[in-house]
Amino acid sequence: MSAIQNALVKTVVIPFYRSHAGLLLFVFLIMFGTVESNQLVNYHRALIEGMFEAPVFLMVVMLVWLLYSTKILIYVLSLFRTPDYRFFTDLTLLPRTVSFFNLVLTVITCFLPVLAYSVFICLIGFSKGYYVPSILILIFQCALCVFNTYAILVVTGTQHRFTWKIPGLRIPNVAGRIGFYVSYFLTEEKIALLISKTFSLALLYIVREATVAGDDFRILGLTWVFVLLSHTFLLPKVRIFEDRYLIWIKALPFKTLHTCLMYILFYAGLMLPELVFSISMMGNMGELLWLVLLSAGVLFFIHVYLLKPQRDPEKFSTFLFWLFMTSFFAILSKLIIPFSLVLIAAACIRLVQRYYRYEPAVE
């Protein structure tokens, strides 16, 4: 590995996987953790064959790949705009082919989870005689990697600010402290929000089609754990937003209890699309309250964990693993209400202890 490629891996690829560990863990659990081991091969074979037999399904999968590719592009460009990464503009001083080769390897490494699974897609496609769709999938993914590389080279070479955006959304009726967070997500983190909502709603749709009304509520409850997992990578973004722009709120005369209530309402509201979609899967409206409490409890508890002083970022994935394993057992034991209330109470207590003592790290 060349010195340039080694530097790109350490400063781009590794931070990318660390910052998106929650999303990647969610996808891994959905693809491999929800199926019994003896059925895993048949499950993925049926899933891949369904992609070739249903063009609409294949287009949805390709859209997900496009969103993931866009996330890689935006993340890399956001890194290159920071002062610590200004030295990467020196890549433009190298021959064009050398710069392109090093950057395309970096993009491919970030895209590796998709490419690895696509190998199996193409192998099954060729074995079943789907030659054209398999080749188109390879061309599509190569095109995504090449486009990302070219866009990075153009931006680093011209020093233009990357400003591709989804049209801004505004909700003028949302006011108060919650309005700050809503506006932030709808203006600065639309791609991240769209990715999490796409995964969670797609998962709920699959479960709804596979079940019938009156099935055990624990099926929906266990699915909801994965739905919440798809939103965990948003919480560090919320904390970064607070550290950068909302420190001044601590000087206002808000009671800590009001702050706790604000977080509970915000995180419950964050799951509103999924809650509305899941109503048709519930036996009664009481189950809706259970999911609201579980959503607020789990996400609020993670938020307060991120307020921990001198927190080791390497342990965040371990913390999420044990939290969601505990959630699984609580739902299986029909203890979803006590579990949610304990999480909310523990989060409120921790917030009282940490909120005014926490100081953001100086960059």
196 and 231 in contact (C-beta within 8 Å)? Answer: yes
The CA-atom distances, in angstroms, between 218 and each of 207, 247, 341, 357 are 12, 40, 18, 39
Indicate the pTM of the whole model. Answer: 0.56
Structure tokens at 9: 């891996």
Can you give the pLDDT at residue 134? 84
The CA-atom distances, in angstroms, between 339 and each of 82, 91, 187, 257 are 42, 52, 34, 20
Half-sphere exposure of 73 (CA within 13 A, CB side): 23
191 Cα distance to chain centroid: 10
Sites in the chain below the pLDDT cut of 70:
1, 22-23, 26, 28-38, 85-93, 157-176, 213-215, 358-363
150 and 74 in contact (C-beta within 8 Å)? Answer: no
120 Cα distance to chain centroid: 24
43 and 35 in contact (C-beta within 8 Å)? Answer: yes
Can you give the pLDDT at residue 295? 92
Half-sphere exposure of 328 (CA within 13 A, CB side): 11
Long-range contacts of 132-139 (CB under 8 A, 24+ apart): 133/52, 133/58, 137/62
Structure tokens at 124: 């099954």
The CA-atom distances, in angstroms, between 227 and each of 3, 101, 123, 205, 238 are 40, 38, 31, 11, 18
| Max CA separation in the chain (angstroms) | 68
The CA-atom distances, in angstroms, between 37 and each of 54, 97, 345 are 26, 45, 37
Can you give the pLDDT at residue 163? 46
45 and 124 in contact (C-beta within 8 Å)? Answer: yes
Can you give the pLDDT at residue 361? 56
Structure tokens at 265: 């309402």
- The one-letter amino acid code at 141 reads Q
Burial status of residue 284 (CB atoms within 10 A of its CB: 0-12, 13-18, 19 or more): exposed
What is d(CA 216, CA 226) in angstroms, rounded to the nearest whole number? 17
What is d(CA 103, CA 326) in angstroms, rounded to the nearest whole number? 41
Can you give the pLDDT at residue 90? 65
291 membership: H or E segment, kind and range: helix 286-305
Burial letters 291-313, b for 16+ CB under 10 A, else e: bbbbbbbbbbbbbbbbbeeeeee
Nearest to 338 by CA among 303, 346, 283: 346
Nearest to 216 by CA among 278, 275, 282: 282
Structure tokens at 164: 């591709």
Tell me: the pLDDT tens digits for 84-140? Answer: 766 666 666 677 787 788 888 888 888 888 888 888 888 888 888 888 888 888 888
- Residue 40, SS3 per DSSP: helix
Can you give the pLDDT at residue 86? 66
The CA-atom distances, in angstroms, between 146 and each of 60, 74, 84, 293 are 21, 15, 25, 45
Structure tokens at 284: 């009664």
Per-domain residue ranges for the chain? 3-158, 176-354
Residues in the chain: 363
9 and 106 in contact (C-beta within 8 Å)? Answer: yes
- The one-letter amino acid code at 213 reads A
